[in-house]
Structure formats: C-alpha cells, structure tokens
C-alpha cells in the first residue's frame, strides 16, 4: 500500500511537471556514442587543461602595456607583427619544466586526463615538428621537446594524455586563420594552410607521442563539413581509439564541449565536458591572481558531475615552466577531497533528483550521492522524491551510518552535529529497486533552514512568448560567462510560473536576479503568490553587449508571507504589454526573514 502510494505520487508529479518539455538544446546528447574511447572519458569526470606557449613567457605584458583576460590572445590584442612576436621564442627557455613534477601534481589533484596546447593560435609549436622551424626545438634556446617527456610522465602516472590543437587560427602563418593585421584576408588560402601545416602536424602528434586519449581541436574554420570529415577520417586511421573534441566543427566530434566556462542548466545524457580556467586567463598572466578556491573547484566539479559531465580545469604555467603556486595548492586540496569522496565523482552519472537548497546529487546504480554544500539549521536533511527502498545512508568513506526516515515523497536524514567537510561532505544513500529519474523535476524546494533558496529561471514554466535562452557576456577579454535567462517577457501573458515546495511557514524576501538594458529599464512588473502582490519597477543593470562587463543585479522586490507549508506557485510577469522585454531574469532568490 505504501509503495503504491509512492508510485502514484511519483507518476502524478512527473506527468504534471514534465508537461512542458525541456528545450531541445539541453536534452540533445553529444557526440558519437559508439567510440571506444568514451568509456574512459565518461568515467574520468575530472581533467586538467594546460595552456603553455610563448604567451606564457610574456605573462600578460607586451611592450609597456598590461593585458587582462585571455593571456594567450596577447599577440592578437596587441596586433603584434608576426615577425616581431616570433622573436619571443629566442628568450623562451623553460628550465623549470619538470614533466614528472607536473604529472605528479596532476595525479595528486585527482585528474584522470591531461590536455596540453601543442599549438595555440599564436602558431608556435610546443613540440618537435618537421613541418615548421617555428617550434620549441629549433626556434628556442630550450632546444628539446617537452611533450615527449610529458606524454610519458602522464602515462607513468596513470593519466590519459591529450593534445590541444588550434587547427585553423594561426597568427604566424600568412595562410592561417585570424591574422589580418599582417596578412590580407583576401589573399589567404586556408586549404594550403591545412595541407601544409595543420594536417601534417596533427599526423605528427598522433604518431610520435604514443597512444593519445584525445585531440582537443579548437575554433574550427576554413573547411566544409565534407573536408572536415575527410580530415578526421584520415587522422582516425592513425589512432582509432583517440577521441576528437566537438570543436573539430560541423558536429563531427566524438563528445560535446560546452562553451568556455559554461555548465548546462539541466542534466545532459551522453559524453560531454565543461571547460573552466583556474583564474581569469587560460595562458599565464603574472598579474592575474583571481584563482578559484578549493571550495569553488569542489562545487564546480560536483555541480558538473551532477549534470552528468566532465570538468576540465585549466592551469597556465609560466615561461619558466612553473605552475602558479595557488594552482598547485588548490588543485592538491581538491585532490585531497577526492581521496575521501572520489566515489561520488568518478564513474558517476547525473543525480536522480534536482539540486536542493543543501547541494546537488550524483548517482551510480543502487546509490545516490548527496553532496552537502550547506547544512540545514535543524540538521534534518530532506531528500524529496526518493521512491526506491532506502537501505542505508552513510557519510561516504566512513562506516558512520546515519538515521533516516522514509515516507512517500521524502526521506529525511538526521545529520551529526558536525560534518567532516564544511565545503562538501558527501553522503551515500544505498537503495534497493528502481529509483525514478526526477532530475528534471521543476518543483523547487524552499526552506527557512538555509540562507536562501536560489531558483534558476530555467525551472519555471514558461507561458506566452517567454522562453529560456543562453545569455553570454564577459568580464575581461575572453573571460566568458554564460547564464540561462528568461527572454521575451513583453506582456502579462508571458508569465513565468515557479512551482515551489515551501517547507516552512514565515516571511520570505523575494529577490530578482536579472540583466536589464536601457530599453527595458523602468517598466512595471509584478511577483504574485496566493493573491499577494509585489509590484516593482525594473532597474537599469547595463547594456546588452557580450563584450561589456555587464552585471546582473539583485533587486529585492518585497516580502511574501507563507502561512501554510506545501506547494505554491510564484509568478513573475510584466504588468502591461508594450512590446518591450521586461528584463532577462536569471534566477529568483527567496531569503527567509530572520
């Protein structure tokens, strides 16, 4: 009887809340599901990216100017003449490079694959290439091939090794893509570039460095889909087990890479990767000290895993071959966390219940991992939607069993007075039978046991013309940020309805987090819930331009009172229709009033 009630609850909930399907762009799975390399890749979950080239020697300075943002773009941003920029090679002598030290730090960080720039857009080859003289062996005093040593050291440390390769952009070559300050675009012959540099170099990389886990193509251009297919078919013959990233272009990669610094808002099937850098730049910049803390890395990693993907995190060694000390320290701290909680990351797939005010979940057959980022004040951790029979709940990596109660629709765990890791203590819930996949359940939990409930706009039900779209902007050059926002709310019919499960009675402050340009500012909108109304006037936040450091604002619009716990719909909409977008709503925040 109890099980039947549970089943009925789940079926009703799912059919009501899945009534509006998730937009196609998020449910599409990436890549080629039959590729043999996908097994290691989807189990790996955590990779290390390394951007290393002549730009590392420059460290964000060209002549008398400092550059912020993507340091590996310095040649382009300074419009440095190719011949002059090439002179940097004469001083590039990374005596501090130690392949074994790099691979050891990577292993201690807990990464399972490492991808390094063989050639970035500047055109300098960081490996021994017969195709050009502009490589580390012939053009620099270093005179050796660091990739030989690094590929071996990675394998010795059980790390899959891969090369990043900029297949189209090459600012050193007259026929390469991108350099229009030295070479006229109309005179370029991209086919010639692919024939004489890109493809022969890719062949060298796939021939001279043992078995590669993957080739990370970047920034496609200059080839038709047929030409791209011919290129990768011929390269595949050299190493059939090697994966090719989706940035080879035309949808021909083996797995899907999201945009730089982008995590999809909902779980995605198939093999995919989010790519972030440790600070604000990919290549080394001496004055960029904005490193993500171990806690931020751990949250990012568990968040990406909770959506089913891999995180590849970038480090930029300097021109001497040394990593920034903060990167070493914080990656090692992440590795320490993984030693205890790695089972909740490696080999997992997305969590079967959506993000909760306390954190996120990942899963394996028969196991749900609860990543507790914030402890509820009453120490009762509520897990909604568990319909399998719970056998036990433990702190992962310990024998410490926690007491819990299971009722239809929710399981509650009693947490101990202190948790071992305030950043993310993982609990493992083992269960019998089948657990429903409720990962895209729209209803979001609100409770006064936490600092606030932050509910992304993606979870709302969209009415009228309102739709959810990706909003892209940047802080510094190339320092991309991506957020999914509600667009096209121009009339009261274009309302967003957030289904909420509010656990506790009391007052909640409603904060709207949105972008709003001049055209949208000073329009009336209203938040409603159970007949309560919070009217507001939109505030100017910044103009919509991807290259502006546009800021989202937090606009507190008022307080709502909840006198009965349970299901409530919160609506956000324009007051009148005037064809102007109200704003681009990123999330709503409900803050318990204390």
**What residues contact 116, with CB distance under 8 A and at least 6 apart?**
49, 50, 52, 126, 147, 150, 162, 163, 164
> Can you tell me the distance from the alpha carbon of 219 to that of 472, in angstroms, rounded to the nearest whole number?
17
**What is the β-pairing status of strands 380-384 and 410-414?**
antiparallel
> Can you tell me the distance from the alpha carbon of 271 to that of 166, in angstroms, rounded to the nearest whole number?
22
* 345 contacts 80 by C-beta, under 8 angstroms: no
Residue placing its CB nearer to ligand FHN in the complex, 73 or 373: 73
Residue placing its CB nearer to ligand FHN in the complex, 258 or 373: 258
The least distance separating ligand FHN from the CB of residue 221, rounded to whole angstroms, comes to: 12
Residue placing its CB nearer to ligand FHN in the complex, 401 or 546: 546
Residue given tokens 């493992």 in the structure block: 428
Report residue 361 as tokens.
């979940």
Report residue 377 as tokens.
């004040």
Report residue 152 as tokens.
């071996």
Residue placing its CB nearer to ligand FHN in the complex, 219 or 497: 219
The least distance separating ligand FHN from the CB of residue 414, rounded to whole angstroms, comes to: 44
Closest CA to 501 of 9, 141, 7, 5: 9
Query: What would the 3-class secondary structure string for 308-336 be?
Result: CCEEEEEECCCCCCCCCHHHHHHHHHHHH
- Collapsing DSSP states into helix, strand and coil, what is residue 444? strand
The least distance separating ligand FHN from the CB of residue 166, rounded to whole angstroms, comes to: 8
Residue placing its CB nearer to ligand FHN in the complex, 275 or 428: 275
The least distance separating ligand FHN from the CB of residue 122, rounded to whole angstroms, comes to: 10
Burial of 350 (0-12, 13-18, 19+ CB in 10 A): buried
Residue placing its CB nearer to ligand FHN in the complex, 145 or 218: 218
The least distance separating ligand FHN from the CB of residue 275, rounded to whole angstroms, comes to: 5
Residue placing its CB nearer to ligand FHN in the complex, 74 or 353: 74
Where on the chain is the footprint of ligand FHN (CB under 6 A)? 70, 72-73, 218-219, 260, 275, 282, 478
The least distance separating ligand FHN from the CB of residue 247, rounded to whole angstroms, comes to: 8
Closest CA to 174 of 183, 161, 166, 165: 183
- Which regions of 433-575 does DSSP assign to beta strands (E)? 444-446, 453-456, 461-462, 467-474, 480-487, 496-502, 506-515, 524-529, 532-537, 553-562, 566-574
The least distance separating ligand FHN from the CB of residue 480, rounded to whole angstroms, comes to: 8
* 516 contacts 524 by C-beta, under 8 angstroms: no
Residue placing its CB nearer to ligand FHN in the complex, 254 or 260: 260
Distances (CA, A) of 442 to 14, 18, 191, 264, 580: 9, 8, 49, 16, 27
* C-alpha torsion sign, points 209, 210, 214, 220: positive
> Can you tell me the distance from the alpha carbon of 66 to that of 47, in angstroms, rounded to the nearest whole number?
30
Residue placing its CB nearer to ligand FHN in the complex, 50 or 86: 50
The least distance separating ligand FHN from the CB of residue 478, rounded to whole angstroms, comes to: 6
How much helix, strand and coil, in percent to the nearest 5, is found in the chain?
25, 30, 45
Residue placing its CB nearer to ligand FHN in the complex, 221 or 549: 221
The least distance separating ligand FHN from the CB of residue 73, rounded to whole angstroms, comes to: 6
The least distance separating ligand FHN from the CB of residue 70, rounded to whole angstroms, comes to: 5
Report residue 435 as tokens.
């657990």
The least distance separating ligand FHN from the CB of residue 232, rounded to whole angstroms, comes to: 19
Residue placing its CB nearer to ligand FHN in the complex, 209 or 216: 216
Residue placing its CB nearer to ligand FHN in the complex, 245 or 523: 245
Residue placing its CB nearer to ligand FHN in the complex, 259 or 535: 259
The least distance separating ligand FHN from the CB of residue 27, rounded to whole angstroms, comes to: 24
The least distance separating ligand FHN from the CB of residue 52, rounded to whole angstroms, comes to: 11
Burial of 253 (0-12, 13-18, 19+ CB in 10 A): buried
The least distance separating ligand FHN from the CB of residue 156, rounded to whole angstroms, comes to: 27
Residue placing its CB nearer to ligand FHN in the complex, 9 or 480: 480
Backbone torsions φ then ψ of 392, nearest 5 degrees = -160, 160
Instruction: Please list the residues that pair with 41 across neighbouring strands.
Output: none
**What is the β-pairing status of strands 113-119 and 46-50?**
parallel
HSE, side-chain direction, 13 A CA sphere, residue 89: 23
Residue placing its CB nearer to ligand FHN in the complex, 73 or 431: 73
The least distance separating ligand FHN from the CB of residue 249, rounded to whole angstroms, comes to: 13
CB atoms within 10 A of CB 346: 17
Taking each helix axis as running N to C, give the angle between helix 99-109 and helix 146-156, from 0 to 180 degrees, rounded to the nearest 10.
40
């Amino acid at each position: 009887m109890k099980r039947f009630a549970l089943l009925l609850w789940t079926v009703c909930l799912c059919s009501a809340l899945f009534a509006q399907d998730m937009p196609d762009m998020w449910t599409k799975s990436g890549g080629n599901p039959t590729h043999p390399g996908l097994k290691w890749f989807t189990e790996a979950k955590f990779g290390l990216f390394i951007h290393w080239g002549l730009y590392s020697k420059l460290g964000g300075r060209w002549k008398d100017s400092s550059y912020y943002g993507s340091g590996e773009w310095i040649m382009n941003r300074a419009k440095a003449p190719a011949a002059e920029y090439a002179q940097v090679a004469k001083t590039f002598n990374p005596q501090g490079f130690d392949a074994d030290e790099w691979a050891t730090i990577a292993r201690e960080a807990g990464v399972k694959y490492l991808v390094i720039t063989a050639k970035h857009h500047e055109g300098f080859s960081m490996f021994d290439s017969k195709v050009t003289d502009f490589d580390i062996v012939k053009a620099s005093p270093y005179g050796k091939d660091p990739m030989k040593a690094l590929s071996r050291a990675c394998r010795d440390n059980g790390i899959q090794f891969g090369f990043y390769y900029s297949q189209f952009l090459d600012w050193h070559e007259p026929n390469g893509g991108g350099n229009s300050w030295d070479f006229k675009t109309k005179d370029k012959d991209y086919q010639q570039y692919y024939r004489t540099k890109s493809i022969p170099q890719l062949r060298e990389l796939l021939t001279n460095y043992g078995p590669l886990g993957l080739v990370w193509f970047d920034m496609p251009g200059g080839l038709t889909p047929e030409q791209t297919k011919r290129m990768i078919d011929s390269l595949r013959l050299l190493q059939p087990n090697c994966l090719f990233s989706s940035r080879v272009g035309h949808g021909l990669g083996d797995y899907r890479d999201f945009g730089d610094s982008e995590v999809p808002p909902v779980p995605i099937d198939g093999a995919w990767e989010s790519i972030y850098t440790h600070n604000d730049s990919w290549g080394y910049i001496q004055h960029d000290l904005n490193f993500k803390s171990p806690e931020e890395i751990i949250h990012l990693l568990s968040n990406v895993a909770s959506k089913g993907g891999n995180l590849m995190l970038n480090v930029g060694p300097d021109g001497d071959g040394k990593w920034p000390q903060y990167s070493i320290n914080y990656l090692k701290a992440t590795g320490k966390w993984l030693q205890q909680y790695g089972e909740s990351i490696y080999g997992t797939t997305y969590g079967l219940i959506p993000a909760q005010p306390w954190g996120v979940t990942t899963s394996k057959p028969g196991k749900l991992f609860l990543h507790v980022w914030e402890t509820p004040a009453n120490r009762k951790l509520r897990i909604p939607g568990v319909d399998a029979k719970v056998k036990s709940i433990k702190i992962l990596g310990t024998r410490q069993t926690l007491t819990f109660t299971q009722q239809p629709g929710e399981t509650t765990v009693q947490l101990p007075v202190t948790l071992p890791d305030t950043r993310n203590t993982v609990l493992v819930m083992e269960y019998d039978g089948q657990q429903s996949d409720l990962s895209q359940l729209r209803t979001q939990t609100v409770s006064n046991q936490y600092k606030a409930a932050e509910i992304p706009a993606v979870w709302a039900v969209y009415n009228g013309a309102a739709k959810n779209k990706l909003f892209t902007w940047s802080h510094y050059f190339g320092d991309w940020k991506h957020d999914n926002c509600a667009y096209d709310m121009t009339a009261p019919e274009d309302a967003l309805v957030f289904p909420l499960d509010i656990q506790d009675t009391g007052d909640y402050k409603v904060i709207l987090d949105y972008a709003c340009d001049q055209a949208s500012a000073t329009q009336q909108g209203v938040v409603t819930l159970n007949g309560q109304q919070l009217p507001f006037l939109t505030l100017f936040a910044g103009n919509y331009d991807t290259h502006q450091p546009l800021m989202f604002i937090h606009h507190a619009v008022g307080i709502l009172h909840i006198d009965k716990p349970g299901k409530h719909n919160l609506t956000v909409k324009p007051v009148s229709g005037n064809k102007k977008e109200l704003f681009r709503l990123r999330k709503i925040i409900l803050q318990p009033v204390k």
